[in-house]
Structure 1
């Protein structure tokens, strides 16, 4: 029957319709695509029919997406497959779990699947196929004046490679609205991601309402952010620094779980234990393993020494919490964290193993499976426990070898809070640069795993930790489009993955994100400029983008670049002082925002901290300034273990002075014994200075006092420091001489003045 289904579709595709074959651009890439001729017309009069409840659910989801993206409101009804309709039907020949088949001819469009998930995913692919007439080579059938959209003729057979295709959102460090979480779920559904791992508790906040323990949210959900600016932001209602935070009520949780389920997504909650517990212990200090539990929710990032006690009362407290969590989340998986337990009592007594065993047994008694970060992997770990490998892939390798199911969530590649480029306009995040291509190149089935153990690799997951990602727009920037690469790794067969073809298909998906209202990073496609002053006084400009994809179009007259603007093909000459605007296009489709570059020779030597080289990269971070409270804040790039920057190979000929801008940040980092390695040169003034040297151990060529910046909590331009006349190139090294660790002075920019 399966063979007859495909043969029938292919015959129809071959003999019906006169339109040209369409471009098929689906993410993730389906397992099998057979193109046909012609197209199926879709207008407001087109019906969607389904035979059963699962089909109706998928049909309604498809209709909602089409209305959102195309403005077409299509009627959904129960009924048989008929010509002129889009149909969702139960497969007569079974498909793999979550799999589907699609057959589109000029007469009808049919989604065929054995389960609800397959029907949903078939509808997702169908929505990505729907195009404007004439788009990507699709022609309108003659004589159809009411046509507004078309589905290209095609036969698709598809199913996922892995069953766990996830994203993790950290809502503990910074709180996101329920509206944003729903939008994120919509974007996940668009790429067939099926697990939403929700990090709801940590040292810095507790975000889930637990009715038996109300102080978990009345106390644990709120903190005063670190820094001078938040300390001076006084709430008139209390006369104290304003609290920052929020939490999700149980009603909101149920709403989000239901919203996710409608889209084929399982919500897996994470309740951290036994460590990362400072917020809970600020609310209920009686459960602390330390004699001096926190008195308020802390605002430092890093690893605290706080942990729960291992006694009967605390165990009962945690089981009570899990009981309410289980009642809210039908997922068979419950994540309990288990990472970075840096508590002397727990380490000395080797308590984590027995604790994890106890929690795994308790969850098993509720018909749930414990999931934990790879620190939980010990010989005593029950076989049903799932190991999430974050410290690279090693935890996953060991877990699979020991017979445990595992999920690859490997740092750094799958940590999506890493920056996507080293450009100055990238938002704050971890200092590593993990590009879209880096993510796409990740191997979700390492060759080191024995063939007999590969069944234990459930899949993979991308993480976005939000210590340095304060806003929802920035969370979206970090997640998309890199999560589309994760989706393809989790869904598509290895032989169906190709980097250049992925870019082609991803480009076609960008309008879907736009229709959803989900901001997407354009880091892979954004034009980047390099320029130099020529002998004739003109500027020579070179343009490129990281992915080497699409056409860069530019203007020099101040107008917005269009698909018909000048196409960059070789270095461009422009008058000094001109403004060049550039954007990337894929055919007529814009795939990047416009970047405007002022070609000013006087600022050719200006570099932001992100454009400099760090002297070391022990703990490299791109951090957001703590001021101003309202409005835009600078992103500052540094190694917090050794703040030091290098401006390499700079020509000092004709340089008369050095000008810098600086910021000051709170040193709100719990880095343990590493804090002893943070040292500074001895200052000559009370506040300190920025030292500029020829090489980090070389001659001091400038010293810029910090006193003018001491009272300014935001970015300050220091008075320029003169440089003695020099010629030739050198590496300039910038380091602060300061008397104390607080505040942490950071270089924002440097410019050599001629």
Structure 2
């Protein structure tokens, strides 16, 4: 039966939803709650039914055109990984899955229908077909099965935001091409479409530049790395180092490979080349670019360094040469120049900078950075690229076409949007997934981290559209982005632990309008994703049991009664009443537990997954 569409424009023309005409085969069936599907992010409109389509062991996928063939090829790879035998066909008849095209205003919108005729994904082109395929994969069992029952559904979906980002810092700690591809896969699986690749910083330069070979011979390596949490050290004597050389970089061929990999998954890569601050690694190889003569080395500490490049003509030639190679490698529209945390101590002492200020009529040295940024912006524009930078770029003045990434809260983003600049909302208060996941600073049950506390609900409940902005100004908010800085994240497993399950919350912030979100409804859907993360060998943080907090405990008849539940399906909850850490041998939670009040007992509980992984403990001192 052919598909038909009706489209309606909403919210002043910003969002357009195209609805499938009612399918008689579905209209006569019994509906079930869409929640039971466990989809993340939850699609805009979902109707689910109790009937299922039996996807067989041998599957045929129909697709035509470049994008259809690309998505069909990706879907074949994914289904083959689930044990299926898949063939691609250009004949519609008999196909189990059909990828169809239809004109829709939003290229990322899609419609997914499953009924007795099979599975149909309809979109304007590649992005929408790809996102429909990701939703389909979440309707299938997490692991291979001979016959996969797919619930009958009718789904109409599109994203709330154009920019749905995740950043990975590979400068502080280097990550292999294999992991970068896995990171991109995980972004794409949850419909995030932008990979911000932080490639350079004081602690290491990670991209091959042919014209400046010392960037990979010298700047890509540091002699050693700081041991422990730097923010806790109070005296120089506390700073200890591992005496182990560390580094790495990506060749241009590797960059091209990763870019092609991302393009195939409709993920845009935004490279970040830091300037003028966070540039000590550059000075280690090319000290002549400094304002202050001397010998420099790639930094072995974290934080902000006062040694930055000098805004002289040799520095501009250096960055223009670098950006010429960078823009040739990355086809996306944006290049991130950083622009943050650039102390002006060296610039204030520099005769060259004083001459610039005199020539330009500046009395504030901060204006020199604005002048620097505008020159770089003009050069990027000559290469067909847009400049984006952290919100500090506002302080010295920026070109009208520049985009601002707001990280120091929302203030910079609000200011930029009011000025007419496009904005990406990435505040430390909500979107920094390198921050802690435990309310206890530097908890012994959590890995070493930079500090802070951003639990799952804080991320989920974030609205990237500040109420201070008018509807017209809100149009400049491209979307949200989660950032993973890696000062204390040294391995892929550590990165995954910080990302998940919080990235699932980020995906819903980016995909769904704020008015259509519910944290209480999100949690059980999130729980159904853990089996999928297990299948992908993602080392997520196992959530501690819920219910062990003062607000949840019921106090009656001289006792405290706590009722616990796990967010991981099939998991056990183990607990103790003596303050010891629970494990497989301690009490198994099966029903509400009562403990006497006024005894000073510490109750602790952990989740133990079906695979044997444990959560950090939830704990409560009962008084």
Q: TM-score range by the shorter chain?
A: 0.7 to 0.9
Instruction: Tell me the distance in 2 between the aligned counterparts of 1:8 and 1:456.
Output: 33
SS of the residue corresponding to residue 567 of structure 1 reads: coil
Q: Does 1:123 align with 2:124?
A: no
Instruction: Tell me the distance in 1 between the aligned counterparts of 2:311 and 2:19.
Output: 60
SS of the residue corresponding to residue 29 of structure 1 reads: coil
The residue aligned with 2:84 is 72
Instruction: Tell me the distance in 2 between the aligned counterparts of 1:344 and 1:298.
Output: 18
Instruction: Tell me the distance in 1 between the aligned counterparts of 2:482 and 2:47.
Output: 31
Instruction: Tell me the distance in 1 between the aligned counterparts of 2:394 and 2:274.
Output: 16
Contact persistence 2:170–2:199 (CA under 8 A): yes
Instruction: Tell me the distance in 1 between the aligned counterparts of 2:20 and 2:326.
Output: 49
The residue aligned with 1:168 is 167
Q: Does 1:39 align with 2:52?
A: yes
TM-score (norm 2): 0.82
Contact persistence 2:543–2:607 (CA under 8 A): no
Matched ranges for 1:220-299 at <5 A: 220-223=219-222, 224-226=224-226, 241-294=243-296, 296-299=297-300
Q: Does 1:570 align with 2:569?
A: no
The residue aligned with 1:25 is 38
The residue aligned with 1:660 is none
The residue aligned with 1:466 is 486
Instruction: Tell me the distance in 1 between the aligned counterparts of 2:569 and 2:80.
Output: 31
Contact persistence 2:142–2:531 (CA under 8 A): no
Q: What displacement does 1:595 show?
A: 5.7
Name whichever structure is richer in strand by fraction.
1
The residue aligned with 2:122 is 112
Instruction: Tell me the distance in 1 between the aligned counterparts of 2:514 and 2:612.
Output: 28
Structure of larger gyration radius: 1
Contact persistence 1:187–1:516 (CA under 8 A): no
Contact persistence 1:219–1:282 (CA under 8 A): yes
Q: Report the aligned-residue RMSD.
A: 3.6
Instruction: Tell me the distance in 1 between the aligned counterparts of 2:423 and 2:401.
Output: 11
The residue aligned with 1:413 is 430
Instruction: Tell me the distance in 2 between the aligned counterparts of 1:485 and 1:516.
Output: 18
Contact persistence 2:542–2:614 (CA under 8 A): no
Matched positions, count = 562
Structure 2 residue aligned with 1:89, among 100, 103, 125?
A: 100
Instruction: Could you tell me which runs of 5 or more consecutive residues in structure 1 were left unpaired when the two chains were aligned.
Output: 136-145, 234-240, 531-539, 574-578, 598-609, 613-648, 652-754
Contact persistence 1:165–1:490 (CA under 8 A): yes
Matched ranges for 1:347-358 at <5 A: 349=365, 350-358=367-375
Of stretches 411-420 and 119-128 in structure 1, the one that deviates more from structure 2 is 411-420
Instruction: Tell me the distance in 1 between the aligned counterparts of 2:128 and 2:457.
Output: 29
Tell me the alpha carbon deviations over residues 329-364 of structure 1, each in whole angstroms, 9 at most, x when there is no partner: 111100000001102244663310100000000000
Instruction: Tell me the distance in 2 between the aligned counterparts of 1:518 and 1:419.
Output: 19
SS of the residue corresponding to residue 429 of structure 2 reads: coil
Q: What displacement does 1:111 show?
A: 0.2
Instruction: Tell me the distance in 2 between the aligned counterparts of 1:232 and 1:203.
Output: 17
The residue aligned with 1:424 is 444
CA, structure 1 residues 65+467, in 2 after alignment: closer, same or farther (shift >3 Å)? Answer: same
CA, structure 1 residues 106+572, in 2 after alignment: closer, same or farther (shift >3 Å)? Answer: farther
Instruction: Tell me the distance in 1 between the aligned counterparts of 2:254 and 2:262.
Output: 12
Q: What displacement does 1:76 show?
A: 2.0
SS of the residue corresponding to residue 372 of structure 1 reads: strand
Contact persistence 1:88–1:112 (CA under 8 A): yes
CA, structure 1 residues 65+383, in 2 after alignment: closer, same or farther (shift >3 Å)? Answer: same
CA, structure 1 residues 595+494, in 2 after alignment: closer, same or farther (shift >3 Å)? Answer: closer
Structure 2 residue aligned with 1:583, among 600, 604, 607?
A: 607
Instruction: Could you tell me which runs of 5 or more consecutive residues in structure 2 were left unpaired when the two chains were aligned.
Output: 8-17, 228-236, 349-363, 551-559, 577-581, 597-602
Instruction: Tell me the distance in 1 between the aligned counterparts of 2:565 and 2:218.
Output: 47
> Segments of 4+ in structure 1 off by > 6 A?
16-22, 228-233, 526-530, 540-543, 545-551
Instruction: Tell me the distance in 2 between the aligned counterparts of 1:221 and 1:379.
Output: 30
Q: What displacement does 1:565 show?
A: 6.4
Q: Does 1:393 align with 2:410?
A: yes
Structure 1 residue aligned with 2:467, among 447, 471, 478?
A: 447
Tell me the alpha carbon deviations over residues 360-391 of structure 1, each in whole angstroms, 9 at most, x when there is no partner: 00000111000000011147411111000011
The residue aligned with 2:195 is 196
Matched ranges for 1:286-325 at <5 A: 286-294=288-296, 296-325=297-326
TM-score (norm 1): 0.68
SS of the residue corresponding to residue 254 of structure 1 reads: helix
Instruction: Tell me the distance in 2 between the aligned counterparts of 1:193 and 1:293.
Output: 42
Name whichever structure is richer in helix by fraction.
2
